[in-house]
């Protein structure tokens, strides 16, 4: 069971956006590092995901607005730990690996760490999705100067600086907006390799043409944003823990 008692706050909160992931949830929640709190954000599931998560000891947050960004941000605002991690809830990524992802944030050497996905089989990451990701990485380098290889959904950063980024995208552009605004604010951003497994069930984004097209639109809008004037660095945010 995952400890969620408010009297003993977890050192790290793990935000798990969830839409009909009943099959994957037991494995995912068992893999959350001991002592950390799992925050499952139910984004309108109809398969009992919320009940399963609650029975397994996770904190459940309900976000009625559909959208990956809406779910992620609801989890971020519900978090209370100094450090917050994000991880997909479809069993494509092993939450146990968050120990390596969060390490550079905890020791203060990095502000945002992304898990660079390394597919273990071709089935894990279809060719069209990998090609789209390579192009996105190129656009990120051109927009921010960050030499990233993957906009990985597994990531870690300190909660107060994340909130100070004032993220506004509530759809597929949320992970990209986080990286772009962090880069504009001078954050130290790094990658670490993580195995990428075949997901359980069908992707809600790249699994459909409509989802893929909407994701492209969302990300184009984020890349077109102008850098915010007077952006603060992660180190200067009150409560950043550094």
Q: What's the pLDDT at 213?
A: 60
pLDDT at 104: 98
Model pLDDT, residue 161:
98
Q: What pLDDT, on the 0 to 100 scale, is given for residue 232?
A: 60
Gyration radius from the chain CA atoms: 17
Residue 15 dihedral angles phi and psi, to the nearest 5°: -90, 125
Backbone angles phi, psi at 94, to 5 degrees: -90, 115
Residue spans of alpha helices (H) in 95-172: 98-106, 127-144, 159-164
Q: What is the pLDDT along the chain (242 residues), one digit of tens a residue?
A: 333 444 456 799 999 999 999 999 999 999 999 999 999 999 999 999 999 999 999 999 999 999 999 999 999 999 999 999 999 999 999 999 999 999 999 999 999 999 999 989 877 777 767 777 788 888 899 999 999 999 889 999 999 999 999 999 999 899 999 999 999 999 999 999 999 999 876 655 554 556 566 667 777 778 888 876 655 666 666 666 55
Q: How far is CA 148 from CA 31, 73, 141, 192, in A?
A: 27, 23, 7, 10
The token pair that represents 120 in the structure block: 């273990």
- CA-CA distance, 83 to 60, in Å (whole number)? 18
* Cα–Cα nearest to 103, from 234, 10, 11: 11
Task: Give the angle 169-170-173 at the CA atoms, nearest 5°.
Answer: 55
Q: Which pLDDT does position 3 carry in this prediction?
A: 37
């Amino acid at each position: 069971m995952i400890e969620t008692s408010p009297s003993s706050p977890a050192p790290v909160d793990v935000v798990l956006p969830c839409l009909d992931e009943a099959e994957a949830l037991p494995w995912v929640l068992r893999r959350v590092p001991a002592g950390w709190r799992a925050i499952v954000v139910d984004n309108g599931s109809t398969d009992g995901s919320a009940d399963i998560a609650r029975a397994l000891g996770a904190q459940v947050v309900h976000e009625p607005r559909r959208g990956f960004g809406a779910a992620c941000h609801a989890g971020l605002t519900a978090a209370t730990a100094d450090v917050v991690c994000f991880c997909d809830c479809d069993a494509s990524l092993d939450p146990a690996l968050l120990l390596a992802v969060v390490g550079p944030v905890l020791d203060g050497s990095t502000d945002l760490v992304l898990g660079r996905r390394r597919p273990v089989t071709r089935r894990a990451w279809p060719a069209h999705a990998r090609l789209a990701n390579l192009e996105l990485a190129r656009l990120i380098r051109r927009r921010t100067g960050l030499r990233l290889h993957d906009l990985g959904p597994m990531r870690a950063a300190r909660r107060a600086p994340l909130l100070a980024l004032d993220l506004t995208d509530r759809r597929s552009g949320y992970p990209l907006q986080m990286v772009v605004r962090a880069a504009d604010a001078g954050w130290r951003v790094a990658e670490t390799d993580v195995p990428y497994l075949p997901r359980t069930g069908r992707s809600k984004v790249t699994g459909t043409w409509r989802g893929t097209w909407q994701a492209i639109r969302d990300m184009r809008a984020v890349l077109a944003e102008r850098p915010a004037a007077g952006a603060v660095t992660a180190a200067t945010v009150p409560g950043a823990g550094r």
